[in-house]
Amino acid sequence: MRNEKIDSTVPRPKNGEKLPRGHVQEHALRYMRRGLMVGAFLPGQVMSLRKLAAGLGTSPMPVREVLSRLVAANALEETKGGSVRVPRLGPEKLNDLFAVRETLEGMAAEMAAKKSTPALVAELAAVNKQLLTAIGKRDILNCLSLNQRFHFTLYEASGSEVLMPLIESLWLQFGPTMYISLLIPSMPWNASDHEEILTGLKENNAAMVKKWCVHDIRTTCKALLSVAGSQGIELPFARALEWQFDTDN
C-alpha cells in the first residue's frame, strides 16, 4: 500500500470514453469509507457537504447520497442542523460495539472455519505474514490495513451475505476512533491470536477459531478503552492531522 497523496478528483473519462453509471457515487463512497477506516476523518469532525463535493470535484449531489448511506450504516451521525459528523464514541458505547463484534464476528469466524479450504488458510497466512512484517517495521497504517484484511478475508469465507454488511457497519463505526487512538501510544501490536486462528483452521477446529477471534477482538477493545477518555478519544493535535491516503482497496 502506498500512502501517496490521494487524487480526490473523480476520474473522468479520458476522451469520449464510456463512463459507467453511478461512477461518481461509487468513487465518493469508496473515498469516504476509506477515509473513515484510515483515520482521515476525526471523531467529532463535521463533514461539510459542499466542501467534500468540492474536494472530490463534483456537485454536492453524489456526496449527499453517500453521506445518507453512511448515516444509515451508523458510520456517521447527523447533528441537529442536518449536518453529519463522525461519531465520538464514549467508553460505554465502545463496550457495546465490541460486545456485538464478539458475537457477530465470532459467528462469522465459526461459519468460515466450518467451510475452510487450504486456499483460505494460505491466503490468510500470507496476509498475516505481511502483517508481521508491518509490525516489525512499526508501520501502523499498514498494521491496521492488514489486520482488517485478515479479519474480512476470514469473515468473507463464511459465505454469509447477511453477516458481512453488519460487520462492515461495525468496523465503520469504531474505525475512526480506533485509527486515531492508535496514534497516541506505541500500541503493542500482537498477531499471536491470528496464529491461533490459523492453527484452528488447519485443524478444522471451528470452536478454536471462534475462541481466538473473540479473544483478538476483546484484546483490541481493552487497548482502545485504555486510551479512550470519558468523552471519547481526544487529541490535542487532532486538527493538525491531515492524512494522505490512496483509494485503491
Chain contacts with DNA (rule: CB under 7 A): 18-19, 21-25, 46-51, 58-62, 64-65, 78-84
Q: Which stretch binds its own copies (CB under 8 A): 97-105, 182-190, 205-213, 228-236?
A: 97-105
Residue 107 near its own copies by CB under 8 A? yes
Q: Which of 28, 42, 70, 131: binder of its own copies (CB under 8 A)?
A: 70
* SS3 assignment for the chain: CCCCCCCCCCCCCCCCCCCCCCHHHHHHHHHHHHHHHCCCCCCCCEECHHHHHHHHCCCHHHHHHHHHHHHHCCCCEECCCCCEECCCCCHHHHHHHHHHHHHHHHHHHHHHHHCCCHHHHHHHHHHHHHHHHHHHCCCHHHHHHHHHHHHHHHHHCCCCCCHHHHHHHHHHHHHHHHHHHCCCCCCCCCCHHHHHHHHHHHCCCHHHHHHHHHHHHHHHHHHHHHHCCCCCCCCCCHHHCCCCCCCCC
Query: What does 207 bind: DNA, its own copies, none (CB cut-off 5 to 8 Å by kind)?
Result: none
Q: Which of 161, 186, 188, 240: binder of its own copies (CB under 8 A)?
A: 161
- The minimum distance between CB 249 and DNA, in angstroms, equals 18
- The minimum distance between CB 70 and its own copies, in angstroms, equals 7
Query: What does 62 bind: its own copies, DNA, none (CB cut-off 5 to 8 Å by kind)?
Result: DNA
Q: Which of 30, 93, 215, 218: binder of its own copies (CB under 8 A)?
A: 93
197 by Cβ neighbours in 10 Å (0-12 / 13-18 / 19+) ranks as: buried
Q: Checking DSSP bridges between strand 77-78 and strand 46-47, what pairing results, if any?
A: unpaired
Pick the closer one to its own copies by CB: 22 or 185.
22
- The minimum distance between CB 24 and DNA, in angstroms, equals 3
Q: Which of 23, 34, 64, 215: binder of its own copies (CB under 8 A)?
A: 64
Residue 69 near its own copies by CB under 8 A? yes
Pick the closer one to its own copies by CB: 13 or 185.
13
- The minimum distance between CB 22 and DNA, in angstroms, equals 5
CA 41/CA 238 separation, integer angstroms? 10
Residue 162 near its own copies by CB under 8 A? yes
Binding residues (CB under 8 A) for its own copies: these are 21-22, 64-65, 68-74, 81-82, 93, 96-97, 99-100, 103-104, 107, 160-163, 165-166, 169-170, 173
